[in-house]
Amino acid sequence: MSASPRSARSFLALLTLLRSSLLRSSPPEALLRPWFALLGLASGVAVLQVLLLPSWPRASELHQASLQQALARAGLTVSPLPSRPAERRQEQAFSSQLGWTIAPGAQLWIVNGAVRRYEDLQIAFLTRHRPALRLQGRQLDRPMPASVSGVIQGHPAVQTCLVPQHEGPAMPGVTRTALLRASDPRRQLQGLRDPLTLAGRLLGLLQPRAFACVLVTLRSADGAPLPPRLWPRLLPALQSALSLPSAAVIPDRNPVPARPQRP
């Protein structure tokens, strides 16, 4: 019975000796080196993933009832059409495509489109995989500013892309230059100036910057010419409805993954 306490004291003394020996041979910074190496390796892998496999862009959803109310306030009678589900590709993303029958023989289609690269923010790129929205024979000769007319699948049509604004109505544009000018440069460059935001994007903790606009298409349903006063009536109503903060744009807080589509 008396040997047991002495054995325990001897064992504790041995542990103390080993601990002091370990600390003398391995300073505290040496013990942290493996963790720093592991952290550096994880950061490198995350950066390579962003560079080689960048995140796909996301497009915020549009609120159909809010847009329909805006059209009704402009004195337009509309009837909803079946919507097209949201889609995502490596270089671009779309919200659900909303449609209405507006006036006899005319259809209105609205969809929010986002691209990963700023040079792709233009109507020609957004519609290249959507034949029902791809305009041919483009002419920038509409009386309304920043609109383009032509034909879609043989039917007369007119298009523009609206960039929501925090002050005033959404700004229309067709080309990359016009749409980027309508975007907020301070918001787009914030991630490049804030080290924490930039690090979060490189590590995949934050969503990458996205360049987006709301594509508005008015096309003839029966091939007849569009009513000449219809476009000037509906476009200002949509511009006002998309003034931020807007009930027509649903914030992308916890997005549901859309159906992936590869080019």
The DSSP annotation for 114-179 comes to EESSGGG-SHHHHTTT-TTT--EEEE---SSTT-EEEEETTEEEEEEEEE--SSSSPEEESSHHHH
Would you state the torsion angle of the CA atoms of residues 223, 158, 127, 260, taken in this order, to the nearest 10 degrees? Answer: -80
Model pTM score:
0.72
Distances 239 to 70, 75, 179 between C-alpha atoms, Å: 9, 15, 14
**Is-contact 122 176, C-beta < 8 A?**
yes
Pair 25, 84 in one domain: no
Pair 123, 166 in one domain: yes
Phi, psi of 162 (to 5 degrees): -100, 130
Closest of 71, 73, 148 to residue 102, by C-alpha: 71
**Is-contact 173 161, C-beta < 8 A?**
yes
Pair 130, 47 in one domain: no
Pair 94, 213 in one domain: yes
Pair 47, 165 in one domain: no
Residue 218 confidence (pLDDT): 96
Pair 87, 210 in one domain: yes
Residue 258 confidence (pLDDT): 42
d(CA 239, CA 164) in angstroms, rounded, equals 8
Residue positions counted in the chain: 263
Pair 34, 147 in one domain: no
- Read off the tokens for 23: 């600390």
CA angle 110-57-259, nearest 5°?
70
Indicate the residue type of 208. Answer: P
**Is-contact 220 156, C-beta < 8 A?**
yes
Pair 121, 227 in one domain: yes
Pair 106, 204 in one domain: yes
Last residue of a domain, one of 15, 31, 52: 52
Domain that holds residue 172: 61-260
Closest of 187, 190, 239, 189 to residue 214, by C-alpha: 239
**Is-contact 109 200, C-beta < 8 A?**
no
Closest of 73, 124, 68, 120 to residue 92, by C-alpha: 120
Q: Tens-of-pLDDT digits for all 263 residues of the chain?
A: 444 556 656 656 655 655 565 455 555 566 566 666 666 666 665 555 555 556 778 899 999 999 999 999 999 999 999 999 999 988 899 999 999 999 888 999 999 999 988 889 999 999 999 999 999 998 886 566 689 999 999 999 999 999 998 878 999 999 888 888 888 654 544 444 556 555 555 555 555 566 899 999 999 999 999 998 999 999 999 999 998 777 788 876 544 344 444 43
d(CA 225, CA 26) in angstroms, rounded, equals 83
Pair 45, 70 in one domain: no
Pair 145, 89 in one domain: yes
Pair 30, 68 in one domain: no
CA angle 181-184-187, nearest 5°?
145
d(CA 75, CA 99) in angstroms, rounded, equals 17
The DSSP string of 16-36 is HHHHHHHHHHS-HHHHHHHHH
Domain count, the chain: 2
